[in-house]
């Protein structure tokens, strides 16, 4: 339990139920590989923590910003997305405590970010059960909520497709139209190119390994082409 004790000490939290703390870091793959594990994986805790996280973040944003509901929703979505939560988890040292299968332990890419984000939520669930709502709230506000400053400064809270539609309707009174330009490659490795049109005018093209991703890329490029990325 030494790594967990160090983790608790760093956060200033002392769990009454140490098994609950440990369970927050147990990934399903670990249970599948090590059948004799006494504790369960962390998915039930994740379910609980997700709800606590959304409430705390919503309360934080509501009290801090007087913006309209639509923008607050966009702020919240950006703050609780995988990249933001996994960055907070890494900053807290959670990556060193993960209990994974040997295969999962080798992957340090996007899959690890996803696991870390889920683990953060599971940990919040464990804190809520062991320490109560106020302590869970403090952890979230201290380790995750400060990310909102960078998110707003960078404009990364905007969903490109939603924002380009809003601007196109405001400036040109048109709804953007996405059209397939090309689709290449085998079914398991397709590459799509989509064009975004304002009426009959092609504004930009985007690419990706799905139509959704290529549309998102086209929308981001349309924002740049129209100079709306600076708004």
| Catalytic pick among 46, 104, 113, 121 | 121
1 token code pair = 């339990």
Q: Are 80 and 53 a contacting pair, CB within 8 Å?
A: yes
Question: In angstroms, rounded to a whole number, what is the distance separating the alpha carbons of residues 85 and 121?
Answer: 9
Q: Is 121 an annotated catalytic residue? A: yes
Question: In angstroms, rounded to a whole number, what is the distance separating the alpha carbons of residues 153 and 105?
Answer: 34
214 token code pair = 């290529």
Contacts of 4 (CB under 8 A, 6+ apart): 18, 21, 22, 97
| Catalytic pick among 50, 104, 113, 130 | 50
Smallest CA-to-CA distance from 50 within 82, 12, 21 is with 82
Q: Is 8 an annotated catalytic residue? A: no
Residues annotated as part of the active site = 50, 121
């Amino acid at each position: 339990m030494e790594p967990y004790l160090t983790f608790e000490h760093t956060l200033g939290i002392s769990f009454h139920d140490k098994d609950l703390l440990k369970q927050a870091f147990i990934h399903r793959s670990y249970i599948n590989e090590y059948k004799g594990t006494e504790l369960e994986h962390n998915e039930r805790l994740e379910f609980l923590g997700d709800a606590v996280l959304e409430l705390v973040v919503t309360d934080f944003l509501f009290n801090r910003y007087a913006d309209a509901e639509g923008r607050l929703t966009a702020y919240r979505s950006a703050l609780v997305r995988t990249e933001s939560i996994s960055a907070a988890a890494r900053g807290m040292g959670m990556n060193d405590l993960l209990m994974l299968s040997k295969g999962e332990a080798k992957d340090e890419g996007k899959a690890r970010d996803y696991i870390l984000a889920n683990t953060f939520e599971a940990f919040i669930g464990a804190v809520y059960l062991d320490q109560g709502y106020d302590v869970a709230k403090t952890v979230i506000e201290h380790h995750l909520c400060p990310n909102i400053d960078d998110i707003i400064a960078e404009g990364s809270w905007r969903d490109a497709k939603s924002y380009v539609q809003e601007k196109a309707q405001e400036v040109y009174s048109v709804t953007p139209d996405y059209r397939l330009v090309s689709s290449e490659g085998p079914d398991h490795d397709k590459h799509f190119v989509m064009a975004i049109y304002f009426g009959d005018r092609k504004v930009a093209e985007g690419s990706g390994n799905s139509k959704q991703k290529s549309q998102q890329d086209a929308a981001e490029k349309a924002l740049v082409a129209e100079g709306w990325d600076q708004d």
